[in-house]
């Protein structure tokens, strides 16, 4: 018998929702969601994250442009920008009589991971209250412009955004890669699945294509590898490292 719980079912049924009805997302609802999310684990208790809640329509439209024209950024009742934020730790270091030497690779990663942990917790908390949404990595298309629009100071950058609202419609779930191809026992490569990776990927292409066909969507046989191959055949966001360094984060 499969083990389950309310939280497991929330995750098992999760989909990215991009269409919302007209109901607003109230301030008390968002506060409850974020206060719960702020209990997420954080490296050394530094809590190196911040959240900018955006409801202003004009600002959402400008952020939509940064994200590549994603309509749901405009349409969502609430847009949350989850940020890596080093301003408080810098203030703490100065209060202790020391000087922060900047954000090296480790601190840049730690703050980005902290923001990501909080964001996923916020999504689950929101989902438990009937809200749905989608993550927006497109905020990194132009990290400098996102920072300008959101008023982010040096030491802060938007890791990604999240649209939130009450769903007008939700898409069917996509199949995920098979568990037996994702979980390794004791060491990498020790899989339950004896299929070679190429065979497992081909099988995933087929299952995804079959699901799309059942939904009446246009697809190709290489429903996953074809998309991934086109999308990532060259480096993405080549200016990102430079832009983040200007914000005080060094990933080199």
- Residue spans of the domains in the chain: they are 6-171, 179-231
pLDDT the model gives residue 216: 87
CA distance 157 to 173: 31
Q: What span, in angstroms and rounded, lies between the C-alpha atoms of 20 and 248?
A: 36
pLDDT for the residue 130: 96
Kindly give the parts of the chain with pLDDT less than 50: none
Q: Are 145 and 232 in contact (CB under 8 A)?
A: no
According to the model, what pLDDT value does residue 52 have?
Answer: 98
Per-residue pLDDT, 102: 75
CATH superfamily name and code, 6-171:
NADH Oxidase (3.40.109.10)
Q: 222 with 205: CB under 8 angstroms?
A: yes
Q: 71-128, pLDDT tens digit by residue?
A: 999 999 999 999 999 999 999 999 999 988 778 999 999 999 999 999 999 999 999 9
């Amino acid at each position: 018998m499969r083990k389950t719980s309310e939280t497991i079912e929330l995750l098992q049924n999760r989909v990215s929702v991009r269409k919302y009805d007209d109901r607003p997302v109230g301030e008390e609802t968002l506060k409850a969601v974020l206060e719960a999310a702020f209990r997420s684990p954080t490296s050394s208790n530094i809590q190196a994250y911040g959240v900018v809640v955006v409801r202003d329509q004009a600002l959402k439209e400008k952020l939509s442009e940064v994200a590549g024209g994603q309509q749901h950024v405009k349409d969502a009742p609430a847009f949350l920008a989850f940020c890596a934020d080093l301003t408080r730790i810098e203030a703490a270091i100065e209060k202790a009589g020391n000087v922060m030497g900047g954000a090296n690779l480790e601190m840049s990663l730690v703050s980005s991971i902290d923001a990501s942990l909080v964001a996923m917790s916020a999504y689950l908390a929101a989902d438990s209250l009937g809200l749905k949404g989608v993550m927006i990595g497109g905020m990194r298309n132009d990290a400098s412009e996102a920072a300008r629009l959101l008023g982010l100071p040096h030491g802060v950058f938007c890791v990604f955004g999240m649209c939130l609202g009450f769903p007008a419609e939700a898409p069917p779930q996509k199949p995920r890669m098979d568990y037996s191809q994702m979980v390794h026992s004791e060491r990498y490569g020790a899989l339950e699945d004896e299929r070679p990776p190429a065979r497992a990927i081909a099988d995933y292409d087929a299952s995804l294509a079959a699901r799309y066909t059942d939904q009446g969507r246009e697809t190709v046989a290489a429903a996953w590898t074809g998309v991934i191959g086109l999308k990532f055949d060259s480096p993405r966001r080549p200016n990102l490292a430079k832009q983040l360094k200007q914000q005080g984060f060094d990933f080199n």
